[in-house]
Each structure stands twice: as C-alpha cells, then as structure tokens.
C-alpha cells in the first residue's frame, strides 16, 4: 500500500455510515477516528489527498447516499425473539420452528410470483416497517444487526434473500437499491 505515513500495522479505512476515513490497526484490531501517535502527518496528508477524495465515489448512483443500500424485509418473530411483541400480536408465543414454517410458506408464495414481499409484509411482518411494505430506507454498514447487514449487502437490487436469522427473528430481505 502507498506510504500512508502511519506506524506499522496501521491502515486508513473508510466508514460508509459516517462517510469519513478512520484508522485501523490490523494486528491489534483497534480502530480510531484520529491518526495514531508516531504518524508522519505530512506523508498522511499527501496519501489522503491522493486516495481519499471526500464525497461520492466514481460510479455511485446519483441520489443514493454513498455506501448505502435500501432494502425491505418481512420479519416473523418467535418466543425467543429479542422483543417477542409486535403491532400484529402483543405477546408472540410461537416457537422458532413454527416461525420457520410460516416464513418458508411466505418465501414460496413470493417466489411463485403470487405476491410481492412488500405486499405480504404489509399484513404479515412483525416489524414496525410493515406499514411501509417492509421498507427500511437507506442504511450502511454498522446500522443493522450483522447477519441482516451481511445478507442485505450480498444481494443485488431486486433480489430476495433466503431466510435470515437475527436476534429479532426470521427475515426475508429484498434489496431495493
Ligand atoms: O428494528 C426495527 N424493528 C424491530 C424489528 C426488527 N429487527 C430488525 C433487525 C434488522 C433489520 C430490521 C429489523 N426490524 C421491531 O419492530 O421490533 C426497525 C423498524 C424500522 C422501521 C423503519 C425503518 C427502519 C426500521 S428498523
């Protein structure tokens, strides 16, 4: 990597959610917003000017906030969910296995083309985003539970995930942008 002027094992990374550079030590696995002690600040300044132009990256879709995607999801909670309650049901007592059967049936219906994820989320999702057809808006890395983020960022726009499990319950995710 070009000479960043940082001490050994330190590298510059980019926070999509804050659209800011940060400094990461790959050996100690620590990160910080300010350059560490021992940094050659002139070299770092030249490196940043050459490699970290602020603002949008080339090829970013106009209007889409940098590093973010938009997705909708359908959530089926169960009695082990972090918050076993929703607008649909004050106390959710179904087991995880029962929730799995329900969400797999939803997945089949969506994959058959009989209904869209958003339409089904309106009545069936245990997330408060149900009223918006499951649309969660734009989000970046670090905003959502890790399993959800990994699955959503692996999708292409228009694609739907398989069943994804988080502490909230079982999800089907459709990437919108
Ligand atoms: O965390 C939320 N809702 C929880 C359920 C839940 N847990 C999630 C975990 C990952 C992604 C979405 C998730 N939704 C609840 O209602 O108990 C959110 C609701 C909304 C509504 C609009 C936009 C974002 C969000 S995130």
Segment 124-173, tens digit of pLDDT: 999 999 999 999 999 999 999 999 999 999 999 999 999 999 999 999 99
Q: How far apart are CA 83 and CA 69, in angstroms?
A: 25
Q: What is residue 119's three-state secondary structure?
A: helix
Q: How many domains does the chain have?
A: 2
Asked whether the beta carbons of 145 and 125 are under 8 A apart, the reply is: no
Query: Do 20 and 99 fall into the same domain?
Result: no
- Angle (deg, nearest 10), helices 96-112 and 117-124: 150
* Residue whose token pair is 């021992």: 38
Residue 60 has pLDDT above 60, yes or no: no
Query: Do 82 and 47 fall into the same domain?
Result: no
pTM of the model: 0.71
Residue 109: phi and psi, rounded to 5, are: -60, -40
ipTM score assigned to the predicted complex: 0.98
Q: Is residue 103 part of a domain?
A: yes
Strand 30-32's sheet: what is its strand order?
A: 10-15, 20-25, 30-32
Is 17 part of the annotated catalytic residue set?
no
Q: Is residue 127 part of a domain?
A: yes
The reported pLDDT for the residue numbered 1 is 54
Sorted by sequence, the CB contacts under 8 Å of residue 1 that are 6+ apart come out as 11
The reported pLDDT for the residue numbered 56 is 46
Segment 97-122, tens digit of pLDDT: 999 999 999 999 999 999 999 999 99
CATH number at residue 149: 3.10.50.40
Asked whether the beta carbons of 22 and 36 are under 8 A apart, the reply is: no
Segment 17-56, tens digit of pLDDT: 777 889 999 999 999 989 999 999 999 999 888 876 554 4
Query: Do 154 and 111 fall into the same domain?
Result: yes
Query: Do 76 and 147 fall into the same domain?
Result: yes
Sorted by sequence, the CB contacts under 8 Å of residue 65 that are 6+ apart come out as 138, 140
Is 161 part of the annotated catalytic residue set?
no
Residue 76 has pLDDT above 50, yes or no: yes
The reported pLDDT for the residue numbered 19 is 75
Query: Do 73 and 109 fall into the same domain?
Result: yes
Of 121, 113, 116, 101, the C-alpha closest to 163 is 101
Ligand 1 pocket, CB under 6 A? 73, 75, 83, 127-129, 136-137, 144-145, 148, 166, 168
12's enclosing H/E stretch is strand 10-15
Q: Is residue 57 part of a domain?
A: no
Q: Which of 72, 75, 169 should be mutated for ligand 1, with most atoms under 8 A from CB?
A: 75
Residue 93 has pLDDT above 50, yes or no: yes
Is 46 part of the annotated catalytic residue set?
no
**Going along 30-107, which residue ranges are E strands?**
30-32, 69-76
Residue 42 belongs to what domain range?
Answer: 10-51
| Count of Cβ atoms closer than 10 Å to residue 32 Cβ | 11
Q: Is residue 153 part of a domain?
A: yes
């Amino acid at each position: 990597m070009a000479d960043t002027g940082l001490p050994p094992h330190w590298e510059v990374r980019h926070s999509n959610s804050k659209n800011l550079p940060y400094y990461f030590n790959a050996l100690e696995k620590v990160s910080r917003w300010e350059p560490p002690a021992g940094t050659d600040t002139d070299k770092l300044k030249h490196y940043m000017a050459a490699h970290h132009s602020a603002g949008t990256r080339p090829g970013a879709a106009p209007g889409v906030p940098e590093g973010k995607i938009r997705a909708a999801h359908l959530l089926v909670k169960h009695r082990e969910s972090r918050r076993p309650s929703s607008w649909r049901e004050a106390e959710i007592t179904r087991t995880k296995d029962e929730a799995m059967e329900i969400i797999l049936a939803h997945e089949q219906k969506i994959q058959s083309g009989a209904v869209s994820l958003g339409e089904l989320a309106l009545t069936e999702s245990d997330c408060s985003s149900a009223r918006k057809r499951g649309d969660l808006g734009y989000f970046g890395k670090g905003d959502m539970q890790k399993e959800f983020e990994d699955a959503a960022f692996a999708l292409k726009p228009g694609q739907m995930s398989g069943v994804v499990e988080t502490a909230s319950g079982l999800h089907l995710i459709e990437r919108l942008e």
